[in-house]
Structure 1
Amino acid sequence: MMKITTLLWTFLFCISTQLQAHEGHTHPQKSSLAVSLAFDATGRLWRVGVQDGFVVVDASADNGKSFTQPVRINAQSQKVGADGEARPKIAVGPEGNLYVTWTEGLKAPFSGYIWFARSVNQGKTFEPSMLVHQDKAEITHRFDSLNVNSKGKITVTWVDKRDLIAAKAAGKPYEGAAIYYAVSENKGSSFSAEQKLADSSCECCRIALTNKPDGTVVAMWRHVFEGSERDHMMAEIPVNHQLPAPKRATFGRWKVDGCPHHGAALASGGEGAAWWGYHMAWFDGGNDDAGGKATLYYARMDGEAWVSSPAKKFGNMKKQAGHPALATMGDDVWLVWREKDGGKHQVWLMKSSDAGKSWDKPKLLSETAGVADYPVLLQKDKQMFLLWNTSVDGLKALAI
């Protein structure tokens, strides 16, 4: 009993430290394990990270065993957010263009700009970077997420505090931050003026993005509901001047005055005419003082009725299970997450062959000593890969 209690208090301490930090996961990094990855149509693996204030991109033709010489993107050194939930992002367009976004930290606390750059020559060079948003105030524009759909439409989302500042100036209450987005219909030559997707988002959790079969972009984020309940919201990115229609996606009713730095995972369910909705995975802290009810959850979300299936618990919370990733091919679903055990970081896997209705038993997929990043799932042709950046073993790529 004493051992179990100690483990629970250790877990609670870790969560409390994150909540007190509130927005501390965007500290500028000299270098970091926090990278983003993408396969292109030829099977090359592209990687974006940070080195000495520069966003750098390199490529691997052997699934991460070796990489080309890094190419710098930003002309001048910046304070680039590259830790935990905040990191540069990379995506490959259907025509082969490379697209990269990142957050530059500014002088004011927790402020930032979202930058974008593209390469139209297979990563040999990148064009001059541009700000995604037209608002130039030195405020929070951070936690960028990047999506490129099958038609080449580019969508960038981020956490933004302009509405909080305006509300304070007017003496009005305002919870959290807001989700904003900007869209490029011309392969990144320019972006439309940014639009607001929703008010009252959590301040420092990543925004998960996926696509419906028709290319519609769908976002999921941690939201501040009435009473400081930190559950999740979902919304389609509007097209043709439609109004946003956010829907509540989770109902844990976790009450906490702080940000857990623990974003959700999201994947589309079904392909083509067989599309039915979304797979979701997320962290919930529970509402007990000992942290014993904190857990990871998985559920299916109906894409038409916006009703979720009963949430399924997964992960060993005594080993600080967290930061899940989801990927699908047809009815096959892969769900991975990170745990810590005996000084080692581990990645665990559950697989479903019936679109998330039932699951195989969890199994240990990989482990490493030292520090490790969050696990990533990427599809290459008809093969799914776990990609995992570690301090001791480097970038690990496992076919699963």
Structure 2
Amino acid sequence: MNTNPSPLHMRHCLLLVVFLVTSLVPGRGQDWLFGEDGARSFPRLRPGAGDVIVLTYCVVRGQQTDVYVTYSNDGGSSWSDKSLATTVRSGTIGLQRQPQAVLDNEGILHLAFEDLRAGASSIDAWYCRSTDLGVSWSEPRRLGAPSYRDFVSIAADSAGHVYVSYLGNAPSGLPTEARVQVFVSSDRGMTWIEPVVVDNIPGGIACECCQQSVDVSPDGTVAIAYRANVSNVRDIHLVRSTDFGQTWQPAVKIQSGPWNINGCPSTGPKIAHDLTGATHVVWRDARDSVGRNVVWYAKLPANTTEVPQNIDLSSARAENADYPDLAVTADGKTVFVVFESGTGLQSAVSFNSGETFTLRTLDEFVRSNAWASAVLRQTGGQPFSVWQATRDGRYDLRYDDGTSMSVQSDSDLHGHLRLTSSGLEIDIDEQVTVSISDPLGRLHVREHLAPGHNVIQALPRGLTFVSVQSANGTVKTVRLLRP
């Protein structure tokens, strides 16, 4: 077997290095991912090789939404120029529907998304790719003949295979019988075989409007996690393929307690693999034995089929937890999960291969529509997360890079603030920037303050958020109510 890289492979690797080194621009600030004002939303992070991170996000323009892709090769410290990949109908994004891009080992960007295009009778799965790291994109193409296809997910392996999984009609064509299906390309997205139905629980189908998630382990095993529907028992299952998606093993149940619900809960799982082949899964359910929304984590070792231990990540700190995402280091020792809740955006991190987790609040002011997404830097294992928050009355992307919290609610800050008849008095021992916003994120005041005693007189009435940014970029935020 010839193990020397081919000239074509070397050319792609050189192209990847050149673009990643020369086209990056600095990420600015510790509060918002991009320094300029914007209306960015629906972020999705996916890891690449080393410390490469791919970010897909959207800009809504009325009935149309622009889909952008950018990437970082230094764990999120700097980002490439944004690349407009495609435009979709705005109504095709939401409830876990979102475009998502992955970068393969040859430097090709692959983008999968849902759209309802002119002349179509239903939402469908679409795909485009870029062979020059976003300088140009192929014309979007529908995957397969026109049909109902929804809730897409995408993954790529190191051997040229690209997988796009989705929920679609049953082979009989009945829209009420959703099935998990997958398109496979063996030539990096140039051509695609006919889709294969992969969910195979006797007497069951897929939950009709819950996102499913596809990922590839380092040994090439493909796994798809999804929520099943067996007479309204809607539990999380996993299917695996060891022959590049041609055949699929019987479904493995991941959820250890049943959830009976007469209706779709509109929330599905996310998965990731480590070098041991273990599959890490996160999801939300309100199983019968608990009766409330809980975010759960489980790890399924390679080649095992027993129901894994389910670990409750949310109950100790958060209510109404939902929409988790996760990332895992290559060695499987660090597991990082983000999820939204009624007590703010939360993170849970484990440094012992998912046995125990430590929780913290990333953003207490974002309690829904966060679209939080997470990756882990493979160098050092530091987490990087992005989510959707309100900025001056519009959505934009906040982030946390694992070294300094982008949004921090700190009770110690209250000791430096006093509401008086003169306004908001602030005593500080360093130079800071103070920003005061209303509950919609609209900025009312921004002042640069010197060390010592300061008074801000233009404090709006009612509930306000006061953020104090120090010279090192850390932002601490508290809520104040001025009568």
Shorter chain as denominator, the TM-score bin is 0.7 to 0.9
Instruction: Say if 1:33 and 1:372, in contact at 8 Å, map to a contact too.
Output: no
The percent identity for this pair of structures is 18
Change in Cα spacing, 1:350 to 1:72, as seen in structure 2 (3 Å) is: closer
1:135 alignment counterpart: 145
Whichever residue aligns with residue 336 of structure 1, its letter is V
Q: 1:143 & 1:72 partners in 2: Cα distance? A: 19
**Who is 1:285 aligned against?**
286
Equivalent residue for 1:25?
Answer: none
Q: CA deviation at 1:182?
A: 0.8
Q: Distance in 2 between matches of 1:108 and 1:249?
A: 40
Contact 1:33 1:373 in 2 (8 A): no
What's the counterpart of residue 319 of structure 1? Answer: 319
2:156 alignment counterpart: 148
Corresponding residue SS for 1:182:
strand
Separation in 2 of the partners of 1:252 and 1:50?
39
Give the 5 Å matches for 1:179-258. Answer: 179-198=180-199, 200-225=205-230, 227-237=231-241, 239=243, 241-258=246-263
Which residue number in structure 2 is paired with residue 10 of structure 1?
none
Q: Shift of the alpha carbon at 1:312?
A: 2.0
Match of 1:298 in 2: 297
Aligned residues of 1:333 and 1:352 also touching (Cα < 8 A): yes
CA distance in 2, matches of 1:118, 1:230: 34
Q: Is the 8 A contact 2:154 2:215 kept in 1?
A: no
CA 1:360 to 1:196, structure 2 compared with 1: closer, same or farther past 3 Å? Answer: closer
The residue identity in structure 1 corresponding to 2:338 is V
2:440 matched residue in structure 1: none
Paired AA for residue 339 in structure 1: S
CA distance 1:153–1:80, shift in 2 (3 Å)? farther
Contact 2:342–2:368 (Cα < 8 Å) also in 1? no
- How many Å apart are 1:327 and its aligned residue? 1.4
What are the residue-to-residue correspondences of 1:1-400 with 2, within 5 Å? 33-38=41-46, 43=52, 45-52=54-61, 53-59=64-70, 63=76, 68-74=81-87, 78=89, 81-105=92-116, 111-132=122-143, 134-137=144-147, 140-163=148-171, 165-166=173-174, 176-198=177-199, 200-225=205-230, 227-237=231-241, 239=243, 241-269=246-274, 271=275, 275=276, 277-287=278-288, 292-316=291-315, 319-329=319-329, 330=331, 331-341=333-343, 346-357=344-355, 359-368=356-365, 372-382=369-379, 383-392=382-391, 394-400=396-402
How many angstroms does 1:319 deviate by?
A: 2.7
Q: Distance in 1 between matches of 2:357 and 2:367?
A: 29
Q: Secondary structure at the match of 1:229?
A: coil
Deviation at 1:141, TM superposition (A): 0.7
| SS of structure 2 residue aligned to 1:165 | coil
Question: Aligned in 2, Cα 1:113/1:334: closer, same or farther, shift over 3 Å?
Answer: same
Q: Is the 8 A contact 1:160 1:177 kept in 2?
A: yes
The answer to whether the 8 Å contact 1:302/1:308 transfers is no
Is contact 2:284-2:322 (8 Å) kept?
A: yes
Secondary structure of residue in 1 paired with 2:173: helix
CA distance in 2, matches of 1:376, 1:318: 18
Q: Is the 8 A contact 1:266 1:280 kept in 2?
A: yes
Contact 1:78 1:105 in 2 (8 A): yes
Change (3 A) 1:318 1:60: closer
Instruction: Judge conservation of contact 2:156–2:163 (CA < 8 Å) in 1.
Output: yes
1:207 CA displacement: 0.9
Aligned partner letter, 1:396: R
Instruction: Return the alpha-carbon distance in structure 1 between the equivalents of residues 364 and 210 of structure 2.
Output: 25
Which amino acid in 1 is paired with 2:372?
P
**CA–CA distance in structure 2, aligned partners of residues 397 and 213 of structure 1:** 28
| Post-superposition offset of 1:86 | 0.5
SS in 2 for 1:287: coil
Q: For each residue in 1:256-312, what CA deviation from the matched residue of structure 2 results, as whole angstroms up to 9, or x when unmatched? A: 12111111122224x2xxx15222222122338xx8444222222233221133322
TM-score normalised over the length of structure 2: 0.64
- Letter in structure 1 aligned against 2:180: I
The 1:368/1:252 distance shift into structure 2, 3 A limit, reads same
Q: 1:245 to 1:309 in 2, by over 3 A?
A: closer
SS of residue in 2 equivalent to 1:362: strand
Q: d(CA) in 1 for partners of 2:288 and 2:216? A: 33
1:276 and 1:369 mapped to 2: Cα distance? Answer: 34
Q: Give the whole-Å Cα distance in 2 for the aligned partners of 1:109 and 1:78.
A: 12
Count of residues in Structure 1 that have an aligned counterpart in Structure 2: 346
Cα gap change, 1:389 to 1:265, in 2 (>3 Å): same
Supply the AA of the counterpart residue of 1:180.
Q
Deviates more, 1:207-216 or 1:390-399: 390-399
CA deviation after TM superposition for structure 1 residue 370, in Å: 8.0
Distance 2:90 2:338 in 1: 31
Q: Distance in 2 between matches of 1:124 and 1:107?
A: 26
Residues 268 and 277 in structure 1, CA contact (< 8 A), matched pair in contact too:
yes
Per-residue deviation, residues 177-208 of structure 1 (Å, max 9, x unmatched): 10111111111111111111125101111112
Contact 1:265 1:280 in 2 (8 A): yes
Task: Describe the shift of the 1:110–1:255 C-alpha distance in structure 2 as closer, same or farther (beyond 3 A).
Answer: farther
Partner letter of residue 295 of structure 1?
A: V
CA distance in 1, matches of 2:310, 2:71: 38
Measured after TM superposition, the shift of residue 391 of structure 1 is 2.3
The normalised TM-score by structure 1 is: 0.77
Amino acid at match of 1:377: A
Distance in 2 between the 1:391 and 1:254 partners?
A: 34
**Contact 2:340 2:368 (C-alpha < 8 Å) held by counterparts:** no
- Matched residue SS, 1:266: strand
